[in-house]
Every structure is written in C-alpha cells, then in structure tokens.
Amino acid sequence: MIAAADAPARPRRRRFDLDRALNTLAAWALALLWILPLAFAIWTAIHPSAYEARFELLAPLTFENFEKAWGAAPFARYFLNTFMLVTLILAGQFLLCTLAAYAFARFAFPGRSILFTLVLLQLLVMPDILIVENYKTMRILGLVDTIPAIALPYIASGFGIFLLRQTFLTVPRELDEAARIEGATVLGILWRVYIPLAKPTYLAYGLVSVSHHWNNFLWPLIVTNSVDTRPVTVGLSIFSAIDSGIEWSVINAATLMTSGPLLIAFLLFQRQFVQSFMRAGIK
C-alpha cells in the first residue's frame, strides 16, 4: 500500500524515508518499554536473588528460583483449579451465549428489544462490581469456596451474546431457509449453519474470555479460601504477601510459571489471535 503510494511521486521519497525511520524508532522504543516488565521478570527468575537489582551481563544463571517457587506453594493444584475454572466458564459461555444470540438474531418475539437492552446492560454492570450481593448469593447456595462459585456469575455474558448476535446477523437468510426446507430442526439449523460460519468469532471470543478469566483476581479472592479452589492469581497473591519481605526472584519465577501457558500459547498463535479478532469483526 505504501510502496504503491510513493511510486508516482519520486521527490517525496527521501522525506518519506526519514518519516518512516522516525516512526520505526518510536515504535521500537515503545515496544522495548512495554516488554521491560517481562524482560525483568525473566532476568530475575533465572539469576540468583542477589542480582535482582544488579544487571550484570555475566551474572550466573540458575534454575533454583523455579524450584523454590514450585516447592513453596501448591502451584500444580492452582493450575488445575484455573484450568477447570476457565474450561467451565468457556463451556458455559459458548452454550448459553450461542442459544441466546440465536434467539435474538433470528426470532421475532414479544419483549425482544427490552430483553436485549437488559443483556447489554451487563456490559456496564459487570458481576465484578456486584461482589457484595453475589457473595451473599453464593453463601445462601452453600457454594462459597467452590470453583462453580467463581464461574457462575460470568457464564451468561452480555458481551458474548452481543458478539455472537452480530455475527449471526451476517449469515445469509437463504442458507437458513435452505436448511429449513431440508427439514432441519431449530437446533439443527443452529448447529449446521450458524455455528460453523461463526468460527472466527468463537475463537476470538474464546481467547478474550480465557485470558480474562485466567487473570481475574478480585472475585476469586473473595469467594475462595482454600488450596483446593484457589486459582493461580489468588495463589500468587498469597504467595507474594508474606511477612518476611518480597523475594522478586522467586515471585517472578512463579509469575512466569503461572502465566507461562498463556504466554506461550499467545506467542505461537499470535497471528491467528490478531486475525481472528479482525475476522470476528470486533471493531
């Protein structure tokens, strides 16, 4: 696009290059600034704690911090909890949001616009804010300190319903009707026509949902209080909030371990990640 644009106007070329060099420089400077915390985390995690604040090129390498962190808290269990949590939330969200979005996109029924407004209201009044009441509800249900208690407030997501409805609206009516003529049921049409066409949306939404809930902190902090239910974020906060001061080397090793899977997944699927956002039309 840029190459095509500067072809006809030769004299502008030199100025354009300077502009471009400055932009590249700025982009890189910002990128280095942005990656600094991660770089620091890696630095401290692979060096002895004496080098937490001293950045010498030849500092000895060690794997000890990871061993220490792994041994100091039940991270394996926390991992499992987080994994179960995000799976439960994602499964619930896909199921409930798909059904609801389908209804909003393709059915005419009384109360549709009011109900849709109520759904959109959740974009604003998120469960994160209603911690006091939701905690009471969980106590009444006897669910405090369970993984479903962390998940339940999030499984009907206004954002998810909105997103899938927008995608379903773009599906040509003709496909829908063709399937109907073939005798497909309501759910059959959804399964055979709509869901396959909305795959990029599911991927994008799934990625947002997983990264959001993998990193969620406040509500799990409130509603869990044992090793068996605590997700990694809460485990990390407890692990780092000890009386005897902060050991950055060990905490950062733990940070890398706990966000490792997400980080690696992101590095591997970077392109798909960004593209699924674009194709999903989240813009």
Partner 1 sequence: MLKSMLMKAAATATLTTGLALGTWASAQAVELQFFFPVAVGGKAADTIQALTDEYVANNPGVKIDAVYSGSYQDTIAKVITASRGGTPPQLSMALSADMFTLIDEDLVVPFDDYLKSDEDKAWIEGFYPAFMENSQTGGKTYGIPFQRSTPVMYWNKEAFKEAGLDPETPPATWEELVEFGKKLTKKDANGNVTQWGVRIPSSGFPYWLFQGLTTQNDVILANSEGNKTNFDDPKVAEALQYLVDLSTKHGVMEPGIVEWGATPKAFFERQAAIMWTTTGNLTNVRDNAPFEFGVAMLPANKRRGAPTGGGNFYLFKGASEEQLTAAADFVKWITGPEQAAKWTIATGYVAPRPDAWETEAMKTYAAEFPPATVARDQLEFAVAELATYQNQRITTFFNDALAAAITGQKDAATALQEAQAQADAVLAEYR
Partner 2 sequence: MLIRSREWVHAWLLLLPALFFLFAFTHVPAVMTLWNSFYSTPRGRRPARFIGIENYERMIGDPVFWKVLGNNLWFALGTIPTSIAIAIAMALWVNDRLAGRGFVRMAYFTPTVLPLIAVANIWLFFYTPGFGLIDQAASTLFGWPQTNWLGDPATALNAVIVVTVWKEAGFFMIFYLAALQAIPPSLVEAAKIEGAGRWTIFWRITFPLMMPTTLFVSINAVINSFRLVDHIFILTNGGPDNASSLLLFYIYETAFKYWETGYGATLTVAMLAILCALAIGQFFFFDRRVHYK
- The footprint of partner 1 (CB under 8 A) covers 49-50, 52-53, 71-73, 139, 142, 144-145, 225-227, 230, 238, 241-248
- Tokens 């979005």, residue located: 101
Task: Tell me the C-alpha distance between 46 and 67, whole Å.
Answer: 11
Is residue 281 within 8 Å of residue 167, measured between CB atoms? yes
What's the DSSP call for residue 193? I
Which residue's CB is nearer to partner 2, number 21 or number 178? 21
The span from the CA of 158 to the CA of 119, in Å, is 5
Cβ proximity to partner 2, 37 vs 60, nearer residue: 37
Minimum Å gap between C-beta 242 and partner 2 is 12
Taking the complex as a whole, the smallest distance from the CB of residue 156 to partner 2 amounts, in Å, to 4
Those residues with Cβ within 8 angstroms of residue 39's Cβ, 6 or more apart along the chain or in another chain: none
268 binding partner 2? (CB under 8 A): no
Give the integer Cα–Cα distance in Å for 146 and 227. Answer: 11
**Window contacting partner 2 (CB under 8 A); options: 56-64, 68-76, 176-184, 260-268:** 260-268
- In angstroms, rounded to a whole number, what is the distance separating the alpha carbons of residues 187 and 195? 10
What does 31 interact with, of partner 2, partner 1, none (CB < 5 to 8 A by kind)?
Answer: partner 2
CB of residue 239 to partner 1, shortest distance in Å: 8
**Among residue numbers 88 through 107, which ones bind partner 2 (CB under 8 A)?**
92, 95-97, 99-100, 102-104, 107
Evaluate whether 225 touches 150 at the Cβ level (below 8 Å): no
Q: Which residues inside 42-71 make contact with partner 2, applying CB under 8 A? A: 52-53
3-state SS class at 11: helix
Residue 175 touches which member of partner 2, partner 1, none, C-beta under 5-8 Å by kind: none
Task: Closer to partner 2 by CB, 62 or 211: give it.
Answer: 211
